[in-house]
Structure 1
Amino acid sequence: MAPKRPLQGYPNLVDRPDELVAANVDLVQRIAHHLAARLPPSVQLDDLVQSGMVGLIEAARQFQAGQGATFATYATIRIRGAMIDELRRADWTPRSVHRNSRRIAAAIREVETREGRAASDAEVAAELEVGLTDYHAMLQDSASANVLGIEDLGGPEVEADRWLAGTEDSPPEQLAQAQFRLALAQALGSLPERERLVMNLYYNEALNLREIGAVLGITESRVSQIRSQALHRLRSRLSDWTGEGSESLL
């Protein structure tokens, strides 16, 4: 019988799931710690690791070498996806936070449609008929519900397995993806300056909230509020793509 071919990117490993799992346990730990830093203390790190291990095992069983993606890339998507799925099943976010998140997105959409420009904090608070302090508290609460953030804004889905395996979408699916990416880029570009800066520092420069606060000279909690409002604004502007309208959740 011919010897097994070493995996792409893993010259010392043969194509055996158990060896892939053993070699990538640290990857699960890193992803779990990174995700836990963005979640409330009530979310247990051990729970994330446990669900991540399930994702790693599934990735090891299904990975096909030679398809253009390394196992680490493939496994990262599957591990993080498994953790997110578990968080969604647990649904640790209070219903009041979901409800207020929907109200914020709807209020932003209402003000911007009426005024023809970006809605200010004060205008959104007035639309919600709450004080500015209460509105900021709503933003802070909803920030804790953001698991995927900008990655979870919706739009046409592309399955990771098909993408990593090199299987192309149909022409209509490719067009829908391209159109959604354009709409998202335009929505990001039209954010108010401070929101755009926070999103850039957080997602492109990979700074955490504390570091962004130091750059802008504001508190970490205020950075969290600004990022939350930016995500609500993007959600409201992309409602035609998500198909959720005022029912969108961050």
Structure 2
Amino acid sequence: MIDHKQSNRAHLQLWREWREQGKPEAKQALIEAYLPLVDYVSGRMSIGLPKTVSREDLASYGVMGLIDATEKFDYERGLQFETYASWRIRGAIIDGLRQGDWVPRSVREKAKKVEEAYQKLEQRYLRSVTDAEMSEYLQITESEFQQMLQDIAITTVCSIDEPIREEEAETRLSLLVDEKATNPESKVNEFFLKETLAKAIERLTEKERIVISLFYYEDLSLSEIAEVMSLSPSRISQLHSKAILRLRGAMGRLKTQLFQET
């Protein structure tokens, strides 16, 4: 991946030539300079996806996102291009996957069923529920529940970028990163969002919190996390799925509170 210490100032002349003078060769040079970012993002997103989804396809979608980022980025604002481009690349990959209908309807239905179960049970008990309690609620055995988690692991890869409401484009990520939200209502919503998310993370099991921390904050892959925790990759995948579904359940409760008037 591109060195985070590499400043946009190193490419300032290229940005000026592209944005101010419209030189296509400057744009091409910028795209080529940041191509490793596409490999990094697509590589992380390939974890847990079906084998039918090739990494080359992800990279192709990602390149389109990089091009889009290069065309829209305002270098004069002093922001880090790597961060902005990563969002655009990830979004382009997710759009490409959705258009390809890469998750079967039956798998999505399983994921929704488990998410709703976590939401209802943890709201009832006000704590993290066990696999046994989940299995009893779903009327399946614990081994069947573990297999269900394995089946729906692929649906948790892009969960934070999914729309909050199916009919709209606003995502959970857009609420977490919203630099323009200055009105009081947005600030209140943002406060409750962060508070709910923090409490939901606290209710995760210790292993689930470790997986979330290593994956999303330390940028380790699931296979690397498996080595660190001395667990199998499939077990790490299950822990990741459970954590994400618990968090989605918590965010679902907040969604109902925020939008019940609309």
- Fold conserved between structures, TM > 0.5: yes
Alignment partner of 1:219 out of 227, 232, 237: 232
Shift of residue 82, structure 1, vs aligned partner? 0.8
Q: Mean alpha-carbon deviation: is it higher for 16-25 or for 43-52? A: 16-25
Deviation at 1:203? 2.1
The separation in 2 between residues aligned to 1:177 and 1:58, in whole angstroms, is 28
Following the alignment from structure 1 to structure 2, what is the Cα–Cα distance between the partners of residues 99 and 227?
A: 18
Q: Which residue of 2 aligns with 1:78?
A: 88
One-letter amino acid matched to 1:177: E
Aligned twin of 1:31: 41
What secondary structure, in the 3-state scheme, does the structure 2 residue paired with 1:157 have?
helix
Could you tell me how far 1:37 is from its partner in structure 2? 3.0
Distance 1:212 1:57, change over 3 A: closer
Q: Structure 1 counterpart of 2:137, which letter? A: E
Q: CA RMSD in A?
A: 2.6
Question: Any unmatched runs of 5+ in structure 2?
Answer: 1-7, 19-26, 165-170, 258-262
Alignment coverage as a number of residue pairs: 234
Q: Decide whether the 8 Å contact of 2:119 with 2:252 is kept in 1.
A: no
Amino acid at match of 1:10: H
Query: Which of residues 219, 228, 233 in structure 2 aligns to 1:206?
Result: 219
Determine the C-alpha separation between the residues in 2 that align with 1:33 and 1:114: 38
Match of 1:15 among 14, 17, 31: 17
Indicate the larger mover: 116-125 or 171-180: 171-180
Alignment correspondent of 2:21: none
**Per the alignment, in what secondary structure is the counterpart of residue 144 of structure 1?**
helix
> Which residue of structure 2 lines up, in the alignment, with residue 53 of structure 1?
63
Task: Confirm or deny that 1:187 pairs with 2:197.
Answer: no
Check 1:69–1:108 CA distance in 2 against 1; reply closer, same or farther (3 A cut). Answer: same
Counterpart of 2:155 in 1: which secondary structure? coil
Q: TM-score, normalised by structure 1?
A: 0.81
Higher relative contact order structure (alpha carbons within 8 Å, sequence separation ≥ 6): 1
Contact 1:108 1:119 survives alignment (8 Å): yes
Cross-structure match for 1:90: 100
* Alpha carbons 2:149, 2:241 under 8 Å: kept: yes
Cα displacement string for residues 51-110 of structure 1 (whole angstroms, at most 9, x for unaligned residues): 222212221111111213132222222112111111122221111111111111222233
SS of equivalent residue, structure 1 residue 194 = helix
Query: Which has the larger displacement, 173-182 or 74-83?
Result: 173-182
Partner secondary structure for residue 211 of structure 1? helix
SS at match of 1:76: helix
Relative distance call for 1:216 and 1:147 in structure 2 (3 A) is closer
Indicate if the aligned counterparts of 1:198 and 1:212 stay in contact, CA closer than 8 A.
yes
Partner secondary structure for residue 145 of structure 1: helix
How big is each residue's C-alpha offset from its partner over 1:30-51, in whole Å with a ceiling of 9 and x where there is no partner? 3222222342211122222222
* Deviation for aligned residue 1:221: 1.0
Conservation of the 8 A alpha-carbon contact between 1:84 and 1:147: no
Corresponding residue of 2:158: 148
- 1:12-47 Cα offsets, whole Å, 9 max, x none, are 423313332232223223322222234221112222
Amino acid at match of 2:11: Y
CA contact (8 A) 1:8 1:70 kept: no
Contact 2:153 2:237 in 1 (8 A): yes
Aligned to 1:176: 189
Find the aligned partners of 2:58 and 2:144 in 1 and give their Cα distance: 32
Instruction: Give the Å deviation of 1:200.
Output: 2.0
Pick aligned residue for 1:196 from 199, 205, 209: 209
* TM-score normalised by length of structure 2: 0.78
